[in-house]
Amino acid sequence: MNDSQNEAALWWATAVSHIEPGRIELRDRPIQELIGRTSLVDVIYLMLRGTLPSQPHSALLEAALVAGVDHGPQAPSIAAARMAATCGVGLNNAIATGVNMLGDAHGGAGQQCVEMLTDIRTAHDDGLTWDDAARDVMSEWQSRSRYLPGFGHRFHPLDPRRDPLLGLVRQAVSDGVVIGDFLQAALAVESALQRRRAGARPVPMNIDGATAVIYAELGFDAPLARGLFVLSRSVGILAHAWEESGQGRRNKGPIPRSVLPARLPQPKDA
């Protein structure tokens, strides 16, 4: 093989999949061995990690993916997808519109939370208690933003997804499935917030924090926490876009026409 052929062979060289006439492999596994035998969740794990998960690891990943599927049409990603669906762009573009709304402020908190919990675990490994590690890392993070990713929710005093997800993680720690360091880090943050806000509204862990614990305990790198959330939320985006496409309305804007014109109130002395 000459240099030109070598370059061509390596241009898109990948360990993720292999395709040739009559053969499809995902991570070196023939597709016919996966079809009908392997769940979609397990294939997601396989594609990202290179191996099939154990049943307990699969169950944790599935729980996190299920928990993040939808949060109603007030979520910007879903609202945008519904509006796009009324513009005649097709489901693929409506879904892409919603997915492209998942940025740092909406959809990125899971990744940020994994990064913060990793910082806490590193500080703990360096000799600090979990409480002291959480306090120092929280101070550093809040020097850049008053928000701590993965904690507090503007709709839910207690996110209904928190307890079942953390219950599964606690059971997995008890069973030796995961180590539990990221769970300890997250609980230390929650405790610190509770002490700091004594007598005020608590700021418990939310869906981003609870799923961040699971993704981190399973060994996914922080950026993949956002990627996995995108996969999860895409299901809700698809369902909303499809529902809206059947409503028969065109060019549906973000607010009803009855409230137009939307205008800032004028100063009294204007």
Within a domain: 253: no
**Cα–Cα dist 224/164, whole Å:** 22
Within a domain: 192: yes
Within a domain: 62: no
Q: Give the model confidence (pLDDT) of 54-101 as tens digits.
A: 999 999 999 999 999 999 998 999 999 999 999 999 999 999 999 999
* Single residue among 29, 52, 75 that ends a domain in this structure: 52
Closest by Cα among 157, 206, 152, 218 to 182:
218
Cα dist. 93→9, 89, 97, 98, 243 in Å? 33, 6, 6, 9, 15
Q: Residue 127 sits in which domain range?
A: 109-225
Going by their DSSP bridges, the two strands 17-20 and 23-26 should be labelled as antiparallel
Within a domain: 78: no
CATH code where residue 212 lies: 1.10.230.10
What's residue 199's pLDDT? Answer: 63
Residues 131, 216 share a domain: yes
Total domains in the chain come to: 2
Q: Say if residue 153's pLDDT is above 70.
A: no
Computed over every residue of the chain, the mean pLDDT equals 92
Beta-strand (E) ranges in the chain?
Answer: 17-20, 23-26, 29-30
What's residue 259's pLDDT? Answer: 79
Q: Is the dihedral of CA 208, 123, 178, 222 positive or negative?
A: positive
Reported as a pLDDT band with limits 50, 70 and 90, residue 49 is: very high
**Cα–Cα dist 183/169, whole Å:** 8
Within a domain: 27: yes
| Mean pLDDT, range 115-131, rounded to an integer | 97
